[in-house]
Amino acid sequence: MKQGVGLTSLSARQRLTASLAAKGISNDLVLSAIETVPRHLFVDPSIGHLAYEDMALPIGQRQTISQPYVVALMSQAVVEIPNVKSVLEIGTGCGYQAAILSQLVAKVYSIERVHSLALDARLRLQDLKYSNIWLKYGDGQEGWAAHAPFDCIIITASTRSIPSRLKSQLADNGKIIAPKGHRHQQSLVVMERKDDQWQEKKLAPVVFVPLLSGTQQE
């Protein structure tokens, strides 16, 4: 696993993982990934001192890096999938969730629709030498058919229904993890596919920005 870079102390990370464990995050691999990945390098230095607080933080373009508890909850749902090897993430943002996932599965594919965020995330992950993450600038609702099927698809924006193209790129017995609902009432859900039948389980109430189509050149 990657070692943390920067001046933020190990004790701050350990306090964060202890608080996540107290909230019900029980998977040791997930807690280790949260402790190891240097979250302060995924946010602006001016707010780096807040990186190991359990809170969402702005990353520009009206987007945020998700609260660590939500990142951990989604990641824990991923590792509960038997023999999970490949994950598609819709909404790279700053790259933090992809970095966490890279500690847990063999291959992470991630799509970001905002050009500046995609570029920054690519450079950041390269600098930190994450070698099992593949990024693409594009419309996340289209998925990444060239690398399908995926064992898991994570969507980091809210939607009322999962786009059909994403569903078609999920492996049988795979899972989609996504916030579903409207702007003011969302639930993080796990949808499992079995022989084209879908089972859905709610994990927690959440608040995410909406899933948008197309791309944004800025």
Q: Annotated catalytic residue: which of 66, 86, 102, 158?
A: 66
Closest CA to 216 of 139, 151, 149: 139
Q: Residue 187: exposed, middle, or buried by beta-carbon count in 10 A (0-12, 13-18, 19+)?
A: middle
Q: Coil, strand or helix: which one is 127?
A: helix
CA distances from 34 to 52, 104, 189, 206, 218 (A): 10, 11, 21, 19, 30
Residue 86 known to be catalytic = no
Q: Tell the residue number behind the tokens 């939500």, with chain if given.
A: 70
Residues designated as active site: 66
